[in-house]
Amino acid sequence: MLDPQPARVRFAPSPTGRFHIGGARTALYDFLLARQTGGQFILRIEDTDRKRFVPGAEDEVMESLHWLGLDWDEGPDIGGPYGPYRQSERTEIYRQYAEELVARDHGYYCFCTPERLSQVRQRQQKLKQPPRYDGLCRSLDLDEAQDRIDGGEPYVIRFKTPREGSTTAVDLLRDPIIVENSTIDDYILLKSDGLPVYHLAAMVDDYLMKITHVFRGSEWLPTFPLHVLIYEALDWEQPIWVHLSIFLNPSGKGKMSKRDAGVKEIYVLDLKQMGYLPEGLLNWIALMGWSYDDHTEFFTLEELIEKFSLQKLHPSPAAVDYKKLDHFNGNHIRLLSTSELVDLLRPYFKREGLVVDEEILQQIAPLVQERIRTLDEAVEIAGFFFKEAAEPETSELIGKKMTIDESIEAIRRSYEIIEGVLTLEVETLEKMLRALAEDMNLTAGQLFGILRIAVTGQRISTPLIETMVVIGKDEVLNRIARALDMLESYAGAA
Ligand code: GLU
């Protein structure tokens, strides 16, 4: 019964903040299981907590999921057979089930005022008892409750947690959790504003939407037994429950939280801005709670769909390791075609205010492809292609462990070689310059270092010879001549 075919899974974010990698991982696992089993991936917006509602958060979830390529089959924007998919549009349904619980004697109306509840809490604090509802309204007669409701008294509906016995909650990744019912509070299910809390709304929706597997964060483990009790009270068959592991911050110590965002961003759209590919991000988060075997680490989304399995999910905390992300992302960049990479790189150059020459962009895409880990790194190593030639620092034109005179000679002889060839061509030029280095008793690194500064104005760039070919003979000669001038006048003045 581990993988009912086909699976119906839902991603159920609350629009209470920005969309981060934890949510993305849950959505990814949902998506993988749905696609693998030919089932459905459902997006449900859990927006009944109006106090924590953040405008725009729902849009950010959708934009992020689309960008990641995790498209849903049913959702608030596209509808589906079990809609609506926004909880604020389903409030009548929750009321109906809350009342059903009352009718089955698994729920009750409670009229306690906030003042009374706070007195109860203070008393419990003094007595060092755990905070919980004291059960005053639990035994209220239903007729009396109805009269008070008719009289306009505000009320909530609470779950009537059994006082005896214990509840066993079974999670796929852990040992069964067994809890004494006497330790479980009589949770509010329907608030005085008529809106449900998560404990009611999510259970009702998962049931009505025929969800087969619930993937959710392990922050729900403490109230998991309550959820099981609600299922039992309504005589519903439970889904397979999977509580995913928590994230640890990059040091591996402590729980990852949004406050750690300063370390490096955890929000999906920010990671996009930082130059990560959806493929890189998905590969990275897929492995934070799941593994295929003990060595395979590189996966495309297609491979993940094929290889994902519930049996290989694990509950141990996952370290958020950005070095790994860079590594995966670089590998996925290498898989792109030139035209894909060109399209992805263009906005990063433009963002820096550079005027992009399309022909040059075509030529430099393959040159950066082997070297970058994030798309924005292309701007660092190749942005100079779209700028006036930056004037190098004179001191930087002196080669490593070389005198000024040796450096001048190296630049002069390079100039002569380049001037002497008809057109610049990578293989011949490289051979000739390497021969020059050898003749001068220099390493290629020493010579290329000087020329790189002369031609690009920077120490790190796309590969030198290829760069010169793209820039073109005349401009390369101009830049080398300028470097020669600079160094000669520097030597003359010294
Ligand atoms: N709305 C809940 C949250 O955002 C969803 C938990 C669940 O998937 O059941 O935490």
The one catalytic residue in 258, 350, 400, 431 is 258
Q: Is 297 helix (H, G, I), strand (E, B) or coil?
A: coil
pLDDT attached to residue 5: 85
Measure 57 CA to ligand 1 centroid, in angstroms: 14
Give the position of tokens 């590919």. 277
pLDDT attached to residue 259: 47
Measure 323 CA to ligand 1 centroid, in angstroms: 29
pLDDT attached to residue 1: 44
Which residue from 44, 171, 206, 216 has its CB within 8 A of the most atoms of ligand 1, so it is best to mutate? 216
Q: What mean pLDDT do residues 419-444 have?
A: 96
Amino acid at 372: I
Q: Is 204 helix (H, G, I), strand (E, B) or coil?
A: helix
Largest CA distance in the chain: 105
Domains of the chain are 8-85+247-325 (3.40.50.620), 90-244 (3.90.800.10), 337-386 (1.10.8), 394-493 (1.10.10.350)
pLDDT attached to residue 257: 54
Determine the atom of ligand 1 nearest the C-alpha atom of 13.
4
The span from the CA of 203 to the CA of 227, in Å, is 7
Residues with a CB atom less than 6 Å from ligand 1: 12-14, 46, 202, 216
Determine the atom of ligand 1 nearest the C-alpha atom of 11.
8
The span from the CA of 399 to the CA of 442, in Å, is 10
For 161-183, letters b (16+ CB in 10 Å) and e give beeeeebebebbbeeebebeeee
Determine the atom of ligand 1 nearest the C-alpha atom of 206.
9
The span from the CA of 205 to the CA of 76, in Å, is 14
pLDDT attached to residue 494: 65
Angle between helices 198-208 and 91-103 (to 10 degrees): 100
pLDDT attached to residue 390: 78
The span from the CA of 211 to the CA of 231, in Å, is 13
pLDDT attached to residue 258: 47
pLDDT attached to residue 266: 87
Q: Which long-range contacts (CB under 8 A, 24 or more apart) does 452-456 make?
A: 453/392, 453/393, 453/396, 453/397, 453/483, 454/392, 454/397, 454/411, 454/479, 454/480, 454/482, 454/483, 455/389, 455/479, 455/480, 456/384, 456/390
Which residue from 9, 14, 65, 243 has its CB within 8 A of the most atoms of ligand 1, so it is best to mutate? 14
Q: What is the pLDDT of residues 249-268, one digit of tens each?
A: 766 556 655 445 454 578 99
Measure 226 CA to ligand 1 centroid, in angstroms: 15
Which residue from 11, 88, 220 has its CB within 8 A of the most atoms of ligand 1, so it is best to mutate? 220
pLDDT attached to residue 115: 96
Q: Is residue 4 pLDDT above 70, yes or no? A: no
The span from the CA of 286 to the CA of 297, in Å, is 10
Which residue from 28, 41, 46, 61 has its CB within 8 A of the most atoms of ligand 1, so it is best to mutate? 46
Contact present, 190 and 98 (Cβ < 8 Å): yes
Q: What is the pLDDT of residues 96-128, one digit of tens each?
A: 999 999 999 999 999 999 999 999 999 999 999
Q: Is residue 63 pLDDT above 70, yes or no? A: yes
Nearest protein CA to atom 9 of ligand 1, as residue? 216
**Residue 50: pLDDT band with limits 50, 70, 90:** confident
Q: What mean pLDDT do residues 124-144 have?
A: 95
Determine the atom of ligand 1 nearest the C-alpha atom of 46.
1
pLDDT attached to residue 319: 84
pLDDT attached to residue 366: 97
Q: What is the pLDDT of residues 311-339, one digit of tens each?
A: 999 999 888 888 999 999 999 999 999 99
Amino acid at 259: R
Percent of the chain at pLDDT exceeding 70: 96
Measure 215 CA to ligand 1 centroid, in angstroms: 9
**Residue 39: pLDDT band with limits 50, 70, 90:** very high
Percent of the chain at pLDDT exceeding 90: 90
Measure 220 CA to ligand 1 centroid, in angstroms: 8
Determine the atom of ligand 1 nearest the C-alpha atom of 23.
4
Determine the atom of ligand 1 nearest the C-alpha atom of 216.
8
Q: What is the pLDDT of residues 189-199, one digit of tens each?
A: 999 999 999 99
Reply yes or no on whether 258 is catalytic. Answer: yes
Find residue 20's DSSP bridge partners.
267
Q: Is residue 2 pLDDT above 70, yes or no? A: no
Measure 14 CA to ligand 1 centroid, in angstroms: 6
For the residues of 39-61, what is the DSSP string, one character each?
A: -EEEE-B----GGG--TTHHHHH
Measure 45 CA to ligand 1 centroid, in angstroms: 9
Nearest protein CA to atom 7 of ligand 1, as residue? 216
